[in-house]
């Protein structure tokens, strides 16, 4: 389920959807991609196995808040039920309690997860490499970050920063993990250069819906994908 793709698609976040779709196709798995827009029926969201909440500019993020607020309880219920959700940058911030802007104004978030984001000085921009806390290999995740907000929370991080700034440029953490939620500042888009993260999400969704075992999940030839992944590591570490 691609949430509001007309607005939440900063830095090519739609590439994450394309990656999940292609990796399903290559395994002979039919994937139905549904774009949830302003006029969509909420009932369709209940059918989601994977939800993408992409990034947006501050203006678009503010517009999206009113739309997403109507879906707060349903999104929270789906998250607690183990539905996979990938939240990128603005989508990540929207899951929290609030965003405090440069003028100290408190802009409420959805409050689904207990954390906040605060604007602090210059933007954190550049390529980023992290070591993920997920039980997968390789451990590195590469991407690009560009955010003015600093996020603070007590959840398990998505990873430890090896190069770049991460959540706030201070604590060395990037993103968060909660149940089957991955929230991160990594654009790029994230999944094409990190096929192990894409497969982690697909496996979790299939395990939840069909009790699929790891042995039943076909391994793909990811030589090209990991050439891109490793090239980023060579350039920036």
**Which are the catalytic amino acids?**
89, 187
Report whether 192 contacts 142 (CB < 8 A). no
For residue 124, how many C-alpha atoms fall within 13 Å in the half-sphere facing its CB? 24
3-state secondary structure of 196: helix
* Residues whose CB is less than 8 angstroms from the CB of residue 27 and which lie 6 or more positions away in sequence, other chains included: 217, 218, 220
Enter the tokens of residue 111. Answer: 């409050």
Quote the CA–CA distance of 191 and 189 in Å, as a whole number. Answer: 6
What gap in Å lies between CA 70 and CA 34, rounded to an integer? 19
Q: Would the CA dihedral through 5, 181, 122, 63 be positive or negative?
A: positive
Q: How far apart are CA 201 and CA 216, in angstroms?
A: 15
Core vs surface per residue 49-63: b (16+ CB within 10 A) or e: bbbbbbbbeeebbee
164-119-56-157 Cα dihedral, nearest 10 degrees: 50
């Amino acid at each position: 389920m691609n949430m509001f793709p007309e607005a939440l698609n900063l830095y090519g976040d739609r590439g994450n959807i394309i990656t999940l779709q292609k990796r399903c196709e290559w395994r002979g798995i039919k994937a139905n991609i549904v774009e949830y827009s302003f006029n969509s029926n909420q009932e369709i969201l209940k059918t989601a196995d994977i939800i993408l909440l992409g990034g947006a500019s501050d203006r678009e993020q503010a517009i999206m808040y009113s739309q997403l607020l109507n879906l707060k309880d349903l999104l929270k219920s789906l998250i607690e039920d183990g539905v996979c959700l990938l939240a990128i940058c603005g989508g990540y911030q929207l899951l929290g309690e609030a965003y405090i802007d440069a003028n100290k104004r408190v802009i409420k978030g959805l409050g689904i997860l207990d954390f906040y984001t605060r604007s602090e000085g210059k933007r954190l921009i550049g390529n980023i490499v992290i070591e993920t806390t997920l039980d997968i290999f390789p451990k590195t995740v590469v991407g690009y970050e560009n955010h003015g907000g600093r996020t603070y929370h007590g959840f398990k991080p998505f990873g430890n920063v090896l190069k770049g700034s991460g959540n706030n440029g201070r604590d060395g953490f990037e993103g968060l993990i909660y149940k089957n939620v991955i929230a991160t500042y990594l654009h790029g888009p994230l999944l094409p250069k990190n096929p192990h993260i894409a497969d982690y999400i697909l496996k979790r969704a299939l395990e939840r819906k069909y009790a699929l075992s790891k042995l039943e999940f076909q391994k793909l030839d990811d030589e090209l994908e990991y050439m891109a992944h490793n090239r980023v590591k060579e350039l920036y570490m």
